Structure 1
Amino acid sequence: MQIEKHISDLLYRYQCVTVPGFGAFLTETVSAHVTGSASSFFPPKKVVSFNANVKNNDGLLANHVALQEKMSYELAVIKIGDVVNEWTYLLQNRNRVVLKNIGEISVNNEMNWVFEPANTVNFLTDSFGLTPFVSPEITREVLKQEVAALEEKAPIIFTPERKRDYSYLKYAAIFVVMLGAGGFGYKTYYDQQIETKTLAVQKKVQEKVQQQIQQATFVISTPIEAVELSVAAPTEEKMPYHLVAGAYRSEENANKAIAELKAAGFENAKMLPMNKHNLYPVVYGSFKNLNEAQTERKNIQKSHNAEAWLLIE
């Protein structure tokens, strides 16, 4: 299983991706900048770093692997553990761990892990399509000196110019102006005639309509029955972020877990519909936005259940 591909996919969406039992890959947004005398322009990007001290399982990577590889969450955790053991063995024997598009992890003389980012992929989605480029230096002063040297060698000689007779253009302009004035006058007269005829027709039509209104009588023989309109009930607000306490094969066990959570003070505990793995997820609660869900997950991991994880629909 190429776990580095799943880590790379998550780095586009999250600032921290933790590999349980190994460490966490962190991203920091860097603004666009210009470096060097040749004016090298670099777009905004995410800089990737590694922290070997953060090893707790937050459920993000395992849940992503389970969805992408079409396996259960428990099996995904086992697969990730196998890869972590392989990486750890390589580092203990002073070998490099190469993670495609992410970077390399090596060991220094003090047996500390050293991470070197690849910098080949920009994980900042706002900078999609932007690449670094180099603007060549503009040599204005050199060209100015070359032009000045040419002027000294070849002085400019002014020669008198023959004056041409353009008197015929004056008469042509007068003819064009008169022609335009005549055309404008005819158009104005034509528009006035059309407007007058239109008003006369509209006046006759209005007189006939008024006569028809005065002669008409309206009799309603039977009242029209009232029409009952059905108003749709407001749709329930979507809450796609669920903080999962566990998943159970039996619905009875899931209900027992809900009762235990409510007894512990989690009044919003509930059971989600059966998933594609034939399990009943039991959640502490559901949330509208990701920040609120992540904050509650950290609190519950510290106070109640360290294995609580986040499910995103």
Structure 2
Amino acid sequence: MQIEKHISDLLYRYQCVTVPGFGAFLTETISAHVTGSASSFFPPKKVVSFNANVKNNDGLLANHVALQEKMSYELAVIKIGDVVNEWTYLLQNRNRVVLKNIGEISVNNEMNWVFEPVNTINYLTDSFGLSSFVSPEITREVLKQEVEALEEKAPIIFTPERKRDYSYLKYAAVFVVMLGAGGLGYMTYNNQQIETKTLAVQKNVQEKVQQQIQEATFVISNPINTVELAVAEEKMPYHLVAGAYRSEENAKKAIVELNAAGFEKAKMLPLNNHNLYPVVYGSFKNLNDAQTERKNIQKTHNAEAWLLIE
């Protein structure tokens, strides 16, 4: 049994996969980054590491092996133990343990286990299809130096301007100022007269309106109907996934089976980027509720249930 294949499959969905009695493979997500003078761009990825001190059986690997190999949980634990004994024997005799698509484990001079991960596999599903690339160097500084050299060689000639007589402009400015002052005085007087008449008319109109309001009786014959405002649907970004199906018909059948099993909130999410229809046990508003329900379902119904975060 090639247990490394099952470990590799689980690393796509979980941050920690423990091999009982041997150690744990851990994943850490790193952001996209640029390295080197040639501008090498690398997409986000999951980096795999190994911790030989974590050896407790959390049931994840054994449950997965039991489901994939069509055997009981107890037999899966025994099979895993046989593989662990073989790996341990190889390391005690200073041999390498090669795990396909995961890495190599060797022993140093102090008899400590050293793990070297495989860098060609990216376990971050969000980076599916993305690869690293190298951007060519931009020669901006070379062009700048060429322009500066041309500027030094090109002669600059200044042509003196002829002095012109603009004395007539000051007389025109004085005339414009006097004309503006006269017009401003007339406009101020005219505006004051208009404002006085407007206030008198407004006062008369307000008195008539107040008198009519006191005498009037208001009766609303056609009241406005009540307007119902639509309340925005509460966002539920955490989904507990039971499986993903290529066919929409199979996804609907899975929902019927989950409803029959007592999961009344089971539903189908829209088609994702991988052309699959995710079927979920339910959606949750916060991460704590989603993780609690995931643990319960993994123990009682489906050990392969996993969490999707939008």
Taking structure 1 as the reference length, what is the TM-score of the superposition?
A: 0.50
- Greater displacement, 122-131 / 172-181: 172-181
Assess if the C-alpha contact under 8 Å between 2:105 and 2:113 holds in 1. Answer: yes
* Structure 1 pair 201–254 and aligned structure 2 pair: CA distance change class (3 A): closer
3-state SS, counterpart of residue 109 of structure 2: coil
**Deviation per residue, 1:148-191 (Å, 9 max, x gap):** 88999999999999999999999999999999999999999999
CA-CA distance at 1:45 after TM superposition? 0.9
Assess if the C-alpha contact under 8 Å between 1:60 and 1:310 holds in 2. Answer: no
Counterpart CA distance in 2 for 1:250 and 1:21 is 40
**Deviation per residue, 1:233-275 (Å, 9 max, x gap):** xx99999999999999999999999999999999999999999
CA-CA distance at 1:26 after TM superposition? 0.6
* Structure 1 pair 257–6 and aligned structure 2 pair: CA distance change class (3 A): closer
- Greater displacement, 208-217 / 281-290: 208-217
* Structure 1 pair 123–249 and aligned structure 2 pair: CA distance change class (3 A): closer
Counterpart CA distance in 2 for 1:279 and 1:146 is 56
**Deviation per residue, 1:76-103 (Å, 9 max, x gap):** 1111111101100000000111111111
* Structure 1 pair 30–306 and aligned structure 2 pair: CA distance change class (3 A): closer
Assess if the C-alpha contact under 8 Å between 1:261 and 1:284 holds in 2. Answer: yes
Counterpart CA distance in 1 for 2:281 and 2:15 is 24
Counterpart CA distance in 1 for 2:68 and 2:175 is 80
CA-CA distance at 1:47 after TM superposition? 1.0
* Structure 1 pair 308–158 and aligned structure 2 pair: CA distance change class (3 A): closer
CA-CA distance at 1:5 after TM superposition? 0.8
Assess if the C-alpha contact under 8 Å between 2:268 and 2:280 holds in 1. Answer: yes
Q: How many aligned residue pairs are there? A: 310
* Structure 1 pair 34–20 and aligned structure 2 pair: CA distance change class (3 A): same
CA-CA distance at 1:117 after TM superposition? 1.0
CA-CA distance at 1:2 after TM superposition? 1.1
CA-CA distance at 1:121 after TM superposition? 0.7
Counterpart CA distance in 2 for 1:249 and 1:121 is 24
Assess if the C-alpha contact under 8 Å between 2:103 and 2:117 holds in 1. Answer: yes
Taking structure 2 as the reference length, what is the TM-score of the superposition?
A: 0.51
- Greater displacement, 291-300 / 11-20: 291-300
* Structure 1 pair 230–257 and aligned structure 2 pair: CA distance change class (3 A): closer
3-state SS, counterpart of residue 226 of structure 1: coil
3-state SS, counterpart of residue 46 of structure 1: strand
3-state SS, counterpart of residue 34 of structure 1: strand
CA-CA distance at 1:142 after TM superposition? 2.8
Counterpart CA distance in 2 for 1:20 and 1:225 is 68
* Structure 1 pair 282–73 and aligned structure 2 pair: CA distance change class (3 A): farther
CA-CA distance at 1:306 after TM superposition? 17
Counterpart CA distance in 1 for 2:246 and 2:155 is 98
Counterpart CA distance in 2 for 1:117 and 1:220 is 80
Partner residue in 1 for 2:287: 290
* Structure 1 pair 302–74 and aligned structure 2 pair: CA distance change class (3 A): closer
- Greater displacement, 134-143 / 17-26: 134-143
3-state SS, counterpart of residue 220 of structure 1: coil
CA-CA distance at 1:68 after TM superposition? 1.0
3-state SS, counterpart of residue 204 of structure 1: helix
Partner residue in 2 for 1:181: 181
Once the two structures are superposed, the pairs formed by residues 9-28 of structure 1 within 5 Å of their partners are 9-28=9-28
CA-CA distance at 1:27 after TM superposition? 0.7
* Structure 1 pair 205–240 and aligned structure 2 pair: CA distance change class (3 A): same
Counterpart CA distance in 1 for 2:308 and 2:114 is 33
Aligned alpha-carbon RMSD (Å): 11.6
- Greater displacement, 276-285 / 302-311: 276-285
Task: Report the identity percentage.
Answer: 91
Counterpart CA distance in 1 for 2:175 and 2:112 is 94
CA-CA distance at 1:19 after TM superposition? 0.3
* Structure 1 pair 106–190 and aligned structure 2 pair: CA distance change class (3 A): farther
| Structure 2, gaps ≥5 residues long | none
Counterpart CA distance in 2 for 1:249 and 1:65 is 23
- Greater displacement, 218-227 / 298-307: 218-227
Counterpart CA distance in 1 for 2:175 and 2:12 is 71
Assess if the C-alpha contact under 8 Å between 1:59 and 1:310 holds in 2. Answer: no
3-state SS, counterpart of residue 156 of structure 2: coil
- Greater displacement, 132-141 / 177-186: 177-186
* Structure 1 pair 156–227 and aligned structure 2 pair: CA distance change class (3 A): closer
* Structure 1 pair 85–226 and aligned structure 2 pair: CA distance change class (3 A): same
Assess if the C-alpha contact under 8 Å between 2:40 and 2:133 holds in 1. Answer: yes
CA-CA distance at 1:141 after TM superposition? 3.3
- Greater displacement, 239-248 / 201-210: 201-210
* Structure 1 pair 72–186 and aligned structure 2 pair: CA distance change class (3 A): farther
| Structure 1, gaps ≥5 residues long | none
CA-CA distance at 1:110 after TM superposition? 1.1
* Structure 1 pair 211–27 and aligned structure 2 pair: CA distance change class (3 A): same
CA-CA distance at 1:126 after TM superposition? 1.0
